[in-house]
Amino acid sequence: MKIILTQIPDVLVIDPTVFNDERGFFLESYNQAVFNTITGLQAQFVQDNHSCSKKHVLRGLHYQIQQPQGKLVRVIVGEVFDVAVDLRRSSSSLGQWVGCYLSAENKQQLWIPAGFAHGFLVLSDYAELLYKTTDYYAPEQERCIYWNDPDLAIAWPLKGSPLISAKDQVGRVFKAAELFS
C-alpha cells in the first residue's frame, strides 16, 4: 500500500498493492496495523456502509456536526468522482475541496478525516461504494451543503443536471454551514 498526497494534507488517497494473475486479482482492502503505520493515524472504524447509485446521481455534501465521521471510501463497481470539503474553522484549508476519481478499476481508496463534508457523483452506469466510518450514523446530526455552492466552486465532471435527493435539495450554502472548531 502507498499513500498519494492531495492538495489538502489530511485527505489521502490510498493505493493498494494488487496481485494480478490469469485467475483475477487479490488485494488487502484494509489492515489496521498497515493503515495506522502508513497514514500515521490511529483511526478506529465502527461502521461499514454499502451504497449503490445509478449514473448521474450526486450525493452530498454530507457531514455530521456531532459525532463527526472519518471515512475510508472505495468503489467496488463502476466509477465516481469523490469530493471532500474542509469544514474545520481552525484549518488553513477551510472551504477548500479535493476531488478524485475512485473506480473498481483503479482500486484506490480515499481517506476523509472527521471535519470534512463528503459527496460523490456517479460517472458509470451505476456504482457501488463501500466505506468505513469512525463514528456511527446520527441522522439528527447530519448536515448538508449544496453540491453546487458557488463559494466552493467544485468542478464536478458533470454533463447536464445530476440526480439529487430531496434531502440534498434543501442543504445550506457554505457561508451558512455549521463548521467544526
| Cα 57 from Cα 86, distance rounded (Å) | 22
Task: Point out the catalytic residue in the list 63, 118, 131, 146.
Answer: 131
> Could you confirm whether 63 is annotated as catalytic?
no
Q: For residue 13, give the nearest of 23, 22, 25, 3 by alpha carbon.
A: 3
Q: Could you identify the residue written with the cell 483511526?
A: 43
> Could you confirm whether 62 is annotated as catalytic?
yes
CB 66 within 8 A of CB 135: no
Q: How many CB atoms lie within 10 A of CB 26?
A: 10
Task: Point out the catalytic residue in the list 62, 63, 118, 146.
Answer: 62
End-to-end CA distance of the chain: 32
Pull the grid cell for residue 58.
450526486
User: What is the DSSP code (8-state) at residue 174?
Assistant: G
| Cα 150 from Cα 104, distance rounded (Å) | 31
Catalytically active residues are: 62, 131
